[in-house]
C-alpha cells in the first residue's frame, strides 16, 4: 500500500507579481495562509489542481497545510522580503 502525505508540497512565489502557487497537495487537505502577525488571509479545502493566490502586499507569510492522515506542514513565504 502506497502512503501519501504532504511532504512533497511545492510552493512558489512569483516575486514580480506576487502570485503564490501551491501544488502537490494531498486531496482532502486544508490549506491556510497567515500573515507573520498570525492574521488569517485565506483558507482552502484542497481537492485537486494547484492553488493560486494573489498576495496583497510584499511581506512575510506562513502557509499551513493540514490533513487528518498526515503531519502538519508549515512553510514560510517571502514576497519581496530578503533576509
Q: What is the pLDDT of residues 23-63, one digit of tens each?
A: 989 899 999 999 999 999 999 998 887 899 999 999 999 99
- To the nearest whole number, what is the mean pLDDT of the chain? 89
Domains of the chain: 10-79 (2.60.40.10)
Question: DSSP code of 80?
Answer: S
**Cα 27 to Cα 40: distance, rounded to the nearest angstrom:** 21
pLDDT of residue 1: 39
Predicted TM-score (pTM) of the model is 0.86
pLDDT at position 81 is 78
Amino acid at each position: 500500500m502506497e502512503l501519501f502525505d504532504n511532504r512533497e508540497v511545492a510552493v512558489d512565489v512569483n516575486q514580480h507579481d506576487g502570485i503564490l502557487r501551491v501544488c502537490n497537495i494531498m486531496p482532502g487537505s486544508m490549506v491556510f495562509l497567515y500573515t507573520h502577525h498570525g492574521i488569517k488571509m485565506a483558507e482552502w479545502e484542497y481537492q485537486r489542481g494547484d492553488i493560486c493566490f494573489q498576495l496583497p502586499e510584499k511581506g512575510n507569510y506562513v502557509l499551513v497545510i493540514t490533513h487528518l492522515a498526515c503531519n502538519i506542514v508549515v512553510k514560510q513565504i517571502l514576497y519581496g522580503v530578503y533576509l
